[in-house]
Amino acid sequence: MNLKRAVRSAYLVLIYGFLYTPILVLVVYSFNGSKYSLEWRGLTWEWYRNLFDDPDLLQVALNSAVLATLSATMATLIGTMAAVALYRYRFFGKQLLNALIFVLMMTPDIVMGIALLILFASLSLPLGFWTLLLAHITFNIPFVVVTVLSRISGFDRHLVEAAKDLGATEFQTFRRVVLPLLMPAVVAGWLLSFTLSMDDVMVSFFVTGPTFEILPLKIYSMVRLGVTPEINALCTIMLGVTLSMILLAQLLLREKT
Amino acid sequence: MRIREPFKLVAVGTIWFWLITFALLPNLLVIIAGFLERGSDEFVTFAFTLDSYRRLLDPLYLGVLLNSLYLAAVTTVLCLLLGFPFAYLLTRLPTRWRPLLLLLVIIPFWTSSLVRTYAMVIILQTNGLLNQLLLELGLIAEPLELLYTGPAVIAGMLYTLLPFMILPLYAALEKLDRRLIEAARDLGAGRVTIFLRIVVPLTLPGIIAGCMLTFLPGLGMFYVADLLGGAKALLVGNLIRDQFLSARDWPFGAATSVMLTVLMGLLLWAYYLSSRRASRGALP
Amino acid sequence: MSEFVIELRNVSKVYGANTVLRNVNLQVQAGEFLTLLGPSGCGKTTILRLLAGFEKADGGEIFISGQDMRTLPPEERHVNTVFQSYALFPHLTVFENVAFGPRLKSIRGDALRERVMDALRMVKLEEFASRKPGQLSGGQQQRVAIARAVVNRPRVLLLDEPLSALDYKLRKAMQLELKQLQRRLGITFIFVTHDQEEALSMSDRVAVMNTGRIEQFGTPRQIYESPENLFVACFVGEINNLSGRVVAATPPRYDIRLHDRVVNLKSKFTFAVGDHVNVLIRPEDLRIWREHEGSDEERATLFPAAVEEVVYKGSTVDLVIRLDSGDLLSTTQFFNEDDRAIMNLDFGVGERLFVDWVHDWETILPHED
């Protein structure tokens, strides 16, 4: 019996180890004093300082943050309204809409990337900030919808009826009753969208332009040239940001009404 | 005419508009582009041709395609083999551990794949961690050339995609009614029988979802092949990217992408069918 | 037409293959406490939802204060609902819950405060204004739901089985409070319940419903003492049902043969000789005579029986009696110090008795299957 347990635990630990070791190595080595080899040469913040001394890099990071914030906000707006509509209303093509959102979520990044590229090209839109923004909003929406929808299903229908009974219009009901109760899921959706946006490589790859550089693509080009401690540091920061957002989102989603 | 419920109109209208413009339309354009001719100044000229699709059948590109399919399939199978027991074990743990352990799987899921691939590079480098470890342990005399090989690419994809397989599997396994297994045991079924005739059919939607989330990105993830496989690795993802950015052969790139999309459609359909079957067979 | 605050004309409602309401007609007077009473599925809640505006009628018309409700959504009707599950907004305090309606009408500041506290005072919850619904007991939540509805001064208040989740004592207390509240406010109350005792004790008038139809509509007294059909007779309170046959007819009086006795009774229905009828008697209207009481000739008009079951209920004793002719009757006996013979109500199982009832306290209905 105990052998069975031991084997099981060992397996779990193995897989977790596999999943986390590379990341941990990355983080640890971002503090490594040695620049070239992987020998440990003491703790240092040097690489992080180098990052902050690079104004180009900071600008790129800011670009990404702005893009992520805007796209997350827009996607959350559209996605939340869509989730509420899907849950509450009957309308023409509802099943189709559901299916479309699902397909959108499942679409491989590369397919979405070139599809949007072709769209922008045919509209003669110059590639840059705006095309990036539109693309990011598009791939974020399904995640917001799914997050909010899963929260909505626990919603007491009578609350909406009570609000209408007391004189509230659809919008007033949404604003004063539905939205406050959905808030944790809405915020979680925003956080997830922000993360997705900050991390996106493939869709951005196709729709980006020379005028607006973003962080993931910058990292990609840096990484192709080889491993450096500065990249380690940069990646560690990205990991940290992602981690905190995801943790926060999970906390919000776990709260019971 | 006074609009009843303007809110409903705005909400439904917005999402429809967005999806049609940025999801439906672009994909239609891709399909169309696949049938057009490559242009000289512009990206495409409006001349109908099946050239692009014919080129797909060219042994050179077919080879690329098959190679990619092979790599992605291997990755998917490996993910399945590793992920299924893992997900299963997770569902057997006491409930108070699960949120935390699930969280530990979810975190890599949401973390940038690029960063995680880069982490693999660090480990697999010539003077990387793995080599150093093996040298230290005396298992090898000289560092291995791990990077820029096929196995490296697979390892990288496996590393990136494993969480994508685990989560749907976990969701499906969790919903599995334990009583069904007990009933089967009671009727005398052995472990293998139970697994093949009960567990697999009922968790099939989850399995297919996991394969979808692993296989499709596996075909498209050109940066994994780039970083871990070098210029040698020409996969479908790289192919598409090159057509659009270097070779400027958009129709060809589009055709390739359409083929990917068709594959995705097939998998989605399989998923849909299997989940219909599974829900019909489920207990109320 | 406009003298009625609510009028339903030939209203019908269908859900899929189910006809939930069939040609319902109802007129409600302003300021009355009306109860819709019936078993589950009879359509009483549907009527409420039609009045509130959450559903649309498939046939017929609905008028509130003379206005056709066909095109009016719930938020525009001067009607408020107290939900069975209370449906209090969990993220708002008690004060904000009650203030919800007035706020939508742009009532602010001191005026708002006054109105809300007034409503809370009416339900005796002023001290709970800053609590959230999750911190209140079931009875308190229910009162908040009532306050939230009445603060809007609706013309009609709809109450959907509001007391069903409360325990017995609290329920009785709330029944009284609601009745007093209604009288004080003067608002028309439409109350839905399946508890007939509740209906009788609170209402000015009761509509007894069954499978989408109103079986009888009248004061509690009329419903209880003069049921118009077998359903109403059996649904409201306990009833004893004796089958008989008309042997002589001199309307409004008839000679009816019940087994081997013939009794002369009055009925508002018209019967012919040979008609089968049901003679319905309430348990408390039956009189019991002990074996040794009375003379033989007096006993000739009584029905002999034996006690099958004695149920002590504290204030009464119920007896299940089997007549010699086979019928099973149920009777309720009150402790009565003037009647020496049965003063102690110490009946024993198997004891022999004689039974009759006060004539004209029974109801005679045409026979139904």
Tell whether A168 lies on the interface with C, counting CB pairs under 8 A.
yes
Report the alpha-carbon distance of residue A46 to residue B262 in Å, rounded. Answer: 49
- Residue B233 counted as domain residue: yes
Interval B77-116: pLDDT, tens? 999 999 999 998 888 888 888 888 888 888 888 888 888 8
Tell whether A254 lies on the interface with B, counting CB pairs under 8 A.
yes
Give me the number of domains chain A comprises.
Answer: 1
- Residue A59 counted as domain residue: yes
Report the alpha-carbon distance of residue A80 to residue B116 in Å, rounded. Answer: 31
The SS3 of residue B158 is helix
CATH number where A236 lies: 1.10.3720.10
- Residue B156 counted as domain residue: yes
DSSP string, C11-26: EEEEETTEEEEEEEEE
- Residue B71 counted as domain residue: yes
B107, B129, B258: best mutation site toward chain A, by most A Cβ within 10 Å?
A: B107
Q: Which domains does chain C have, with CATH numbers?
A: 4-234 (3.40.50.300), 240-366 (2.40.50.140)
A77, A114, A236: best mutation site toward chain B, by most B Cβ within 10 Å?
A: A114
- Residue A38 counted as domain residue: no
- Residue B114 counted as domain residue: yes
- Residue A42 counted as domain residue: no
* B163 with A19: Cβ contact below 8 A: yes
State chain C's mean pLDDT as an integer: 88
Report the alpha-carbon distance of residue C191 to residue C82 in Å, rounded. Answer: 10
- Residue A31 counted as domain residue: no
The alpha-carbon radius of gyration of chain A (Å, integer) is: 22
Give me the number of domains chain B comprises.
Answer: 1
Per-residue pLDDT of chain A (257 residues; tens, 9 = 90+): 688 888 888 998 999 999 998 888 888 888 877 666 556 677 778 888 888 888 888 899 999 999 999 999 999 999 999 998 888 887 778 888 888 898 888 888 888 988 898 899 888 888 889 999 999 999 999 999 999 988 887 788 899 999 999 999 988 998 999 999 999 899 999 999 999 999 999 899 889 988 898 999 988 888 888 777 888 888 888 889 989 998 998 888 876 54
Residue linked to tokens 């702005």: A66
CATH number where B117 lies: 1.10.3720.10
pLDDT of residue A191: 93
Chain A partners within 8 Å of C101 (Cβ): 166-167
- Percentage helix, strand, coil for chain A under 3-state DSSP, each rounded to 5: 80, 0, 20
The alpha-carbon radius of gyration of chain C (Å, integer) is: 25
- Residue A25 counted as domain residue: no
Kindly provide the ipTM of the predicted complex, given to two decimals: 0.83
User: Which residue, C157, C124, C130, is CA-closest to C143?
Assistant: C124
* Banded pLDDT at C1 (limits 50, 70, 90): very low
Please tell me the distance in Å from B6's CA to the nearest CA on chain A: 8
A161, A165, A182: best mutation site toward chain C, by most C Cβ within 10 Å?
A: A165
Pairing between strand C213-218 and C205-210?
Answer: antiparallel
* Banded pLDDT at C351 (limits 50, 70, 90): confident
What is the mean predicted confidence (pLDDT) over C24-46?
93
- Residue B83 counted as domain residue: yes
Sign of CA dihedral C357, C361, C367, C369: negative
- Residue B32 counted as domain residue: no
pLDDT at C110 over 90: yes
H-run or E-run covering B104? helix B98-110
What is the mean predicted confidence (pLDDT) over C215-220?
94
- Residue B115 counted as domain residue: yes
Question: What is the span of the domain harbouring residue B86?
Answer: 59-281
User: Which residue, B129, B210, B120, is CA-closest to B163?
Assistant: B210
* Banded pLDDT at C26 (limits 50, 70, 90): very high
Residues 98-157 of B with CB under 8 A from A: 99, 101, 103-108, 110-116, 118-123, 125, 127-129, 132
- Residue A35 counted as domain residue: no
Chain A partners within 8 Å of C54 (Cβ): 161, 164
Question: What is the span of the domain harbouring residue A204?
Answer: 47-254
* A138 with B23: Cβ contact below 8 A: yes
